[in-house]
Amino acid sequence: MSNSSPYSSEQFVNDEADNEISRLEEQARVRWPQEVLVLRNAGLKAGNSIVDIGCGPGIITEYLAKEVDESGLVVGIEKNEMLYSLATTRTATYNQVQIRNYDACDLIEVNDNSFDFAYVRFVLQHLPDPNKLLIEAHRILKPGGKLIVMDVDDSLFHITPYHQELAQFLSEVSKGQDNYGGDRYIGHKIPCMMFDAGFTQIHTSVYTFTSKNISPQEFLDITTKFKIDLLDPALKDWGNDVLNEIYRKSQDGAFFGTAGVYCVIGEKEM
């Protein structure tokens, strides 16, 4: 298996990209009503500047543009060239948005003390060294600026009725992401990592969503289907069998799934 992230430009192509972008759109649609309240409670308002680090195809960047309005500024940072170009196209009509093709772990072209807020959404899980990104986020925030990180922790993923092979499936997926240099259990580690990067006033919350908020199929599409791509190629047939069985069980009225996202907010000292 390759050591590069599934988001590296040489791997993330064609159908795989279309599927992942649809998943991100669906995930953003489901999660945004809750997330925007978190951002507003943290103080985000019209006229603020926010950097969307690892902005992907710019779905959230566009939502943020509406929040800060034309008097604000959103800078989306994306390493993958194809996603950078999609984000540029998606946000082209917003004067308050700029998209940059940078590696978020090395933001040498971004000045110190530049932004009121930084948002890092489902990015740290993909990085071999997430500390580097957090140190850069701290550097480019203004004193008093806030970093908001959202990310997964697969220990918060559960389905009922119990499925015997789910634990092994999640374990193999986790090994796959480890091979890419990522971590599917990063959520609970983020508060400590932010403290080490220099942030203060760290607040941690866990947000859950369930197969009752959305349909069981949508729940599995957002949380589970893409995990097949993280498995060792030799395990893909087995993984597909496990997944098909879980989808089949999800049509039973007794099915219930829950997934959780860590949200950690920290401040750069004045």
Ligand X SMILES: C[S@@+](CC[C@H](N)C(=O)[O-])C[C@H]1O[C@@H](n2cnc3c(N)ncnc32)[C@H](O)[C@@H]1O
Beta strand spans in 15-55 (E): 49-53
Within 8 A by CB and 6+ apart from 249, the residues are 159, 161, 163, 255
Residue type for position 54: G
Tell me how far, at minimum, the Cβ of 74 lies from ligand X, in Å. Answer: 12
Point out the residue whose Cβ comes nearest to ligand X. 56
* C-beta of 59 vs 264, nearer to ligand X: 59
The rounded distance, in Å, linking the Cα atoms of 214 and 109 is 41
Tell me how far, at minimum, the Cβ of 63 lies from ligand X, in Å. Answer: 10
Binding segment (CB under 6 A) for ligand X, from list 39-47, 110-118, 119-127, 185-193? 119-127
The rounded distance, in Å, linking the Cα atoms of 69 and 48 is 9
Binding segment (CB under 6 A) for ligand X, from list 39-47, 100-108, 195-203, 247-255? 100-108
Q: Give the count of alpha carbons within 13 A of 228, CB side only.
A: 17
Is position 126 an interface residue for ligand X (rule: CB under 6 A)?
Answer: yes
Per DSSP, the three-state class of 46 is coil
The rounded distance, in Å, linking the Cα atoms of 104 and 92 is 21
**Could you say which of 44, 65, 75, 104 contacts ligand X (CB under 6 A)?**
104
The rounded distance, in Å, linking the Cα atoms of 201 and 56 is 28
* C-beta of 30 vs 165, nearer to ligand X: 30
* C-beta of 120 vs 255, nearer to ligand X: 120
Tell me how far, at minimum, the Cβ of 143 lies from ligand X, in Å. Answer: 24
**Could you say which of 17, 24, 51, 148 contacts ligand X (CB under 6 A)?**
24
**Could you say which of 48, 80, 88, 174 contacts ligand X (CB under 6 A)?**
80
The rounded distance, in Å, linking the Cα atoms of 109 and 20 is 29
Contact 207, 171 (CB under 8 A): no
Tell me how far, at minimum, the Cβ of 126 lies from ligand X, in Å. Answer: 5
**Could you say which of 17, 74, 79, 96 contacts ligand X (CB under 6 A)?**
79
Within 8 A by CB and 6+ apart from 5, the residues are 11, 126, 127, 180, 181, 182
The rounded distance, in Å, linking the Cα atoms of 162 and 254 is 11
Residue 193's nearest CA partner among 126, 125, 265, 131 is 131
**In the stretch 146-185, what mask flags binding to ligand X with x, by CB under 6 A?**
----------------------------------------
**In the stretch 49-78, what mask flags binding to ligand X with x, by CB under 6 A?**
-----xxx--xx----------------xx
Binding positions for ligand X, rule: CB under 6 A: 5, 7, 24, 28, 54-56, 59-60, 77-80, 83, 103-105, 121-123, 126-127
